[in-house]
């Protein structure tokens, strides 16, 4: 703490490692093991150092030090735990995040227990707990059976921690459901776009097959390549799939120009629709 008062920041390192190892490496050196960590390992862990710093800052009312701790936590979380906001917007990002959190499980749970004990309800305690709560659906999966057991034991012995974890898990589940349903919506929308544009293309090819003289209409529209010397045949617009937009369209192999599926020649259903509209007008 004195270090912070003099320098405006502090080292998370043990005395003998100061100035030798950059802080970033200290966080990244962590390796998740099956056996529990020793008290000394826990104590030296930079994440735990931050928790103790935060508790001190809280005790003595030093807002600047709390801010500094949060800055260090946020940096670590972004760098090592995939906590960038964008990671929580897709299921792929969420899975990556879950792998990162599971790879630091003991470290996070040790820190969460101490933070929840020393500074319950604080910004730091909540953020640490939330990183675990966010990945709850993955903790319970079979390949993490040991971690799940460990979590149950830890929560079983600490009702305050269990209550906070449950609350945050419910909130995280809600976010998870929202991301899932948005993903489903996007998949459905893209399938509909493929189908709709594909039908328009087929409809136009069908119209030309029924009336060969209409093949002429599948030419690249005159304003783009009518003056080309390559000739009429090369100017035919062909159906193509646009990978970027996920739709079928027409593409001229001569000038590379492309058009939406309904921009070239009215299809059979378009003309049928038009004539049935006329019928309705007549009636
Ligand atoms: Zn063209």
Q: Does residue 129 register a pLDDT over 80?
A: yes
Please, what is the average pLDDT of the chain?
Answer: 85
Residue 85 is predicted with a pLDDT of 82
Q: Does residue 91 register a pLDDT over 70?
A: yes
From 165-174, 198-207, 259-268, the region with the lowest mean pLDDT: 259-268
Report the separation in Å between the CA atom of 202 and the middle of ligand 1, taken as the mean of its atom positions.
Answer: 20
Report the separation in Å between the CA atom of 205 and the middle of ligand 1, taken as the mean of its atom positions.
Answer: 18
Report the separation in Å between the CA atom of 199 and the middle of ligand 1, taken as the mean of its atom positions.
Answer: 23
Contact predicate 48/111, CB 8 Å: yes
Q: Does residue 1 register a pLDDT over 50?
A: yes
Report the separation in Å between the CA atom of 109 and the middle of ligand 1, taken as the mean of its atom positions.
Answer: 63
Report the separation in Å between the CA atom of 144 and the middle of ligand 1, taken as the mean of its atom positions.
Answer: 57
Report the separation in Å between the CA atom of 221 and the middle of ligand 1, taken as the mean of its atom positions.
Answer: 7
Confidence label for 283 from pLDDT (cuts 50, 70 and 90): very low
| Cα–Cα distance measured from residue 81 to residue 180, given in angstroms and rounded to the nearest whole number | 21
Q: What is the mean pLDDT of residues 78-100?
A: 88
Report the separation in Å between the CA atom of 124 and the middle of ligand 1, taken as the mean of its atom positions.
Answer: 61
Give the percent of the chain with pLDDT over 70: 86
At 23-36, the pLDDT tens digits run: 778 888 899 988 88
Report the separation in Å between the CA atom of 268 and the middle of ligand 1, taken as the mean of its atom positions.
Answer: 24
Report the separation in Å between the CA atom of 245 and the middle of ligand 1, taken as the mean of its atom positions.
Answer: 20
Residue 86 is predicted with a pLDDT of 83
Q: What is the mean pLDDT of residues 108-132?
A: 96
Q: Does residue 89 register a pLDDT over 60?
A: yes
What count of Cα atoms within 13 Å lies in the side-chain half-sphere of residue 54? 29
Report the separation in Å between the CA atom of 201 and the middle of ligand 1, taken as the mean of its atom positions.
Answer: 17
Residue spans per domain, the chain: 2-157, 196-282
Report the separation in Å between the CA atom of 90 and the middle of ligand 1, taken as the mean of its atom positions.
Answer: 39
Report the separation in Å between the CA atom of 218 and the middle of ligand 1, taken as the mean of its atom positions.
Answer: 11
Question: Considering Cα of 53, then 58, then 61, then 62, what sign does the dihedral take?
Answer: positive
């Amino acid at each position: 703490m004195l270090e912070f008062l003099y320098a405006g920041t502090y080292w998370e390192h043990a005395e003998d490692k100061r100035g030798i190892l950059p802080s970033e490496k200290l966080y990244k050196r962590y390796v998740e093991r099956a056996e529990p960590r020793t008290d000394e390992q826990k104590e030296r862990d930079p994440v735990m150092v931050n928790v103790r710093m935060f508790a001190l800052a809280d005790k003595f009312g030093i807002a600047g030090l709390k801010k500094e701790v949060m800055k260090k936590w946020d940096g670590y979380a972004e760098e090592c735990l995939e906590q960038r906001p964008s990671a929580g917007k897709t299921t792929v990002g969420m899975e990556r995040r879950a792998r990162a959190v599971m790879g630091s499980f003991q470290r996070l749970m040790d820190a969460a227990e101490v933070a929840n004990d020393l500074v319950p309800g604080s910004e730091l305690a909540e953020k640490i707990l939330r990183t675990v709560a966010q990945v709850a659906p993955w903790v319970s999966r079979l390949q993490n059976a040991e971690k799940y057991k460990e979590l149950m034991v830890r929560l079983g012995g600490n009702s305050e921690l269990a209550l906070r974890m449950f609350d945050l898990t419910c909130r995280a589940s809600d976010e998870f459901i929202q991301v899932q349903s948005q993903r489903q919506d996007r998949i459905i929308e893209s399938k509909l776009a493929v189908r709709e544009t594909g039908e328009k293309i087929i409809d136009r090819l069908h119209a030309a097959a029924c009336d060969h003289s209409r093949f002429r209409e599948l030419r690249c529209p005159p304003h783009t390549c009518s003056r080309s010397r390559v000739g009429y045949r090369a100017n035919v617009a062909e159906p193509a799939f646009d990978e970027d937009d996920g739709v079928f369209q027409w593409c001229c192999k001569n000038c590379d120009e492309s058009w939406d599926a309904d921009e070239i020649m009215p299809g059979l259903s378009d003309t049928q629709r038009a004539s049935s509209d006329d019928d309705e007008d007549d009636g």
